[in-house]
Structure 1
């Protein structure tokens, strides 16, 4: 049979493409054909009309609303979370084949821009998806701005923050001049972080009409020094206000101007008043308190925070808990506080541990892993070095009760050691490739290596115990052992 599929995850980075690869490999193993459109952060090549027309069924493995859904009107459609395609692609194909055998009732095309969550999702799921959508649009600004700022410090030192504006003085013949330029470009990108977060949280809740109120609320959050917490609140307020406005019945003649004029106008007014007059100052006070608390961390409290962040980074390997820890670290970068820079270093180091540990374990004890896992292990070296925690997912999906506790332990060790060593990081991403930009880089690497060894050793020990148990059972039953 022939299928077409779309994969999409909230961040559009790893899960999107891993799901596509899993679907393609499973289709090949089944003797089926599939063409996948990856709606990820790198953009996508749309499915051709010929592929869609000839498909027996459609698979949507997505945690977001599928773009261009109306293209598939009249086709049998199977929908599932993106992780289902990674962990159980065969099950998705069975569902798709069953759907292909059933008649499809005609249905009106779904608009391209819809809410980012299904109408029947639970409240907790909706809130998580709203926040993750904001984070997914935030990441490109974080990466561009953070890496530029880190590069400027590497070229010109920390004093580059006091350089004159490049619009007034720019020396193209000096390294300091280019460092100042990099810093000011990166700072300009960072200025968008809170408005982008708020704007796209609102978009996830109420679609395009909520973008303007969300951006306005986010900009006000910056103005009143409410920071990332203010951006989160502004986004939720903007989305909620626009959703409420949409419920108001208006004459048919006015419906055309509501999304482009009335909803953005009234939403911006309401959110602006609330942020300036009601919630902005309390949130700013909470942000100041949080920053002061982070700066006061030392000794055991810093170690415990590093361990907690490490546990979160490894728990779901790129999922909501991982992204919550990452967003917490990124939010601190805007303050420039030393403790916040230490948190960013701890989070990145801890996020690198799971794929690196499993790559190491599958290399030194090959017989404990399948051929497919050993192949994934070879790729996991680069994924881990690049701070792509999702490289551990294939191992965790195959053996969650041994892999997940092991990598959580290793990441917790790395997070604690990184905080204890005082390693700092201004770049929000980059993995091993931004080590020259890290404060105390050798100790950062010591923390990373220690956690990797702990996690790899734990995985090997647990798998070895299972292997020996299988050997004993085989001796009793007289059956050969399958390593």
Structure 2
């Protein structure tokens, strides 16, 4: 820690009034010390991390942090705010601000030290000392662990270090834990657990694996909890949640052992510790690794901040579940959506994630199959779909045979689309037990011509059926065969019955009606549809709305002989999706002074990303200035989509961007549609950014006669 923070990185009179301004003020100190190479690029990484989850903690603490390629070495800057700054904590503003900067490839030792700081923030003596420290040097020494909390207060600087023997434990230097593995908490020298055993390697806890800390003194075994904590960057929240749970367990007389799955790696809990546990707590914002180890136990699954802010409540909840015998098949394993989300998410958010789970697994099949079919037509001609099977007829020297081969491989790939969509929607809802009924339901949807809509319905039904079965209390003796035999059997039978007998035919009729309606779109209706799809493609740049439009288009061409309207829709969607990154690339080229150096570098990459139909290439620009970038690219995307439909451009391939232009119908007009949209979006971005740059100059002074905006501030992009 000694080289991570110095007095120059401490600001005891932080005057910022927003979290963005606070991060900038502290980051500027890092730049001055040569710890950060690109201020704007680093702040963009901090903002991206903050967008994932607010970094404010109860107790007046804000810990903005990130990994960044613009950081040269692990660095910590500290600021103390008299007025307080809102970092999203439930109890109000934060007055202690820690900006943690880790290089993209930070080594485990440094990250372990940073994790030790995170644990110290749960110590009220430590935070009280930071609030009372009188100078930057003392504060830096306190954070480094070179000064005890009791001596940090300038008023008691002359007090004897031995005034209270208990202070030795509270003043254990933060850096001392650098020798612990992945954030483990080593006992104080000479200390031992009540049972005389050390904590399990790689684990943290109030006791070791066999300790009896938390016993009531009657000889009765304490309630045992194993926990896993993790957060997106694995630097701070992971270890703070662990410390908080351990402290709450100690106070409640409960034995808590925590596995911290942080950036410094993790060591799995001893299987014997897990087997002996009476309950499980998952406090995480990223998937828990090897979660199946904890199956079959009462489980509480929450976000990592809940582990920090309300540990006693979580411990009480898991004890209550154990007392009630609330152990259900698959409950502890969770689901992919639950592992990546927050327990407070509403049903609508989870539904969107379930659908996107299926779409994300389906898209590679769409891309592979669509490109193979398109290449088959390009090589073998438009009658290649009438060619006999290459198993019966294949001539090595004939291009027609090679075209037929590619076409038939693509058709086979397309045959997986609906089953994969349904299977992985169910997987997102119910994890692996949902795969079998999901694939079965998707295959039935394909068989009865229920198409894309049938796949969506089959996946949701399959996931719902499995989730319902998992809520049934099952005797321990039967749990082993539930995911292998019972759940696949019962769920497949129910899904098959519903798809074949109850809802399959109405969905197939709806699918046919939708297909016929699209086939009849002409003139103004088609142009309006193109504009709408263009708006959707550019709204969230690869997000859910973008994926809905893309999936709608690919579903139309996911057949051996798609309609002309379906291919027009596919062309409009891909053209609009290319506009955002190409527009930003053009804007950074023609008016580079309106953008930061990092954005200009991103603009160079955006040329290639846009040409490859990767809309996400515009995300860095949208994150830095959403109010100007997103509306601009939406306007350009809508124009491109409308023009593509109006020009009658068609596309059989679902991906490829500029590289599949030879496979596009009316390619020249198609390229004109893209160029027009790109120019319009770039012009709007330049115009809006230019207006923003001029605004600060119009107000030279504030009411007190002081400069309202410095030239440096006027050149900074709007924070996301």
Could you say which residue in structure 2 is the equivalent of 1:106? 257
d(CA) in 1 for partners of 2:701, 2:420: 62
1:161-204, Cα deviation, whole Å (9 max, x unpaired): 00001111111110000000000000000000000000000011
Could you say which residue in structure 2 is the equivalent of 1:56? 115
Could you say which residue in structure 1 is the equivalent of 2:594? 368
Could you say which residue in structure 2 is the equivalent of 1:199? 423
1:188-242, Cα deviation, whole Å (9 max, x unpaired): 0000000000000001111111101000000000000000100000000000011
Unaligned runs of 5+ in 2: 5-47, 53-65, 76-100, 119-200, 205-226, 247-255, 259-279, 283-287, 293-332, 716-720
Match of 1:148 among 366, 369, 372: 372
Could you say which residue in structure 2 is the equivalent of 1:248? 472
Q: How much has 1:100 moved relative to structure 2?
A: 8.3
Unaligned runs of 5+ in 1: 3-14, 37-46, 60-70, 86-91
Distance 1:454 1:93, change over 3 A: farther
- SS of the aligned residue for 1:23 comes to strand
Match of 2:646 among 407, 420, 423: 420
Contact 1:52–1:72 (8 Å) recurs in 2: no
Match of 2:532 among 295, 301, 308: 308
Distance 1:58 1:351, change over 3 A: farther
d(CA) in 2 for partners of 1:237, 1:58: 47
Q: How much has 1:23 moved relative to structure 2?
A: 2.9
Q: How much has 1:114 moved relative to structure 2?
A: 3.2
d(CA) in 1 for partners of 2:202, 2:645: 50
Q: How much has 1:469 moved relative to structure 2?
A: 1.9
Contact 2:115–2:236 (8 Å) recurs in 1: no
1:343-368, Cα deviation, whole Å (9 max, x unpaired): 11111110110010011011101111
Could you say which residue in structure 1 is the equivalent of 2:43? none
Q: How much has 1:471 moved relative to structure 2?
A: 2.7
1:111-131, Cα deviation, whole Å (9 max, x unpaired): 156312234321011101111
Answer yes or no: is 1:462 the counterpart of 2:688.
yes
Match of 1:116 among 336, 353, 373: 336
Answer yes or no: is 1:79 the counterpart of 2:231.
yes
Could you say which residue in structure 2 is the equivalent of 1:451? 677
Q: How much has 1:26 moved relative to structure 2?
A: 5.7
Distance 1:347 1:57, change over 3 A: farther
Contact 2:114–2:235 (8 Å) recurs in 1: no
Match of 2:581 among 355, 358, 363: 355
Distance 1:154 1:285, change over 3 A: same
TM-score (norm 1): 0.83
- SS of the aligned residue for 1:172 comes to coil
1:383-439, Cα deviation, whole Å (9 max, x unpaired): 111111111111111111111110000000000001101111111111111111111
Q: Cα RMSD over matched residues?
A: 3.1
Matches within 5 A, 1:32-43: 32-33=101-102
Q: How much has 1:99 moved relative to structure 2?
A: 5.8
Match of 2:612 among 377, 380, 386: 386
d(CA) in 2 for partners of 1:242, 1:193: 22
- SS of the aligned residue for 2:593 comes to helix
Could you say which residue in structure 2 is the equivalent of 1:23? 67
Q: Which has the higher contact order (CA 8 A, sep 6+)?
A: 1
Could you say which residue in structure 1 is the equivalent of 2:461? 237
The number of residues matched between the two structures is 436
Distance 1:308 1:50, change over 3 A: same
Contact 2:70–2:103 (8 Å) recurs in 1: no
Contact 1:58–1:96 (8 Å) recurs in 2: no
Could you say which residue in structure 1 is the equivalent of 2:157? none
Which region of structure 1 is more displaced relative to structure 2, 115-124 or 433-442? 115-124
Could you say which residue in structure 2 is the equivalent of 1:342? 568
Answer yes or no: is 1:268 the counterpart of 2:492.
yes
Distance 1:289 1:398, change over 3 A: same
- SS of the aligned residue for 2:337 comes to coil
Distance 1:443 1:218, change over 3 A: same
Q: How much has 1:25 moved relative to structure 2?
A: 2.4
Contact 1:145–1:185 (8 Å) recurs in 2: yes
Distance 1:358 1:332, change over 3 A: same
d(CA) in 1 for partners of 2:73, 2:112: 23
Distance 1:50 1:179, change over 3 A: farther
Could you say which residue in structure 1 is the equivalent of 2:664? 438
d(CA) in 1 for partners of 2:475, 2:236: 47
Q: How much has 1:379 moved relative to structure 2?
A: 1.1
Contact 1:57–1:96 (8 Å) recurs in 2: no
Contact 2:73–2:102 (8 Å) recurs in 1: no
TM-score (norm 2): 0.57
Distance 1:416 1:171, change over 3 A: same
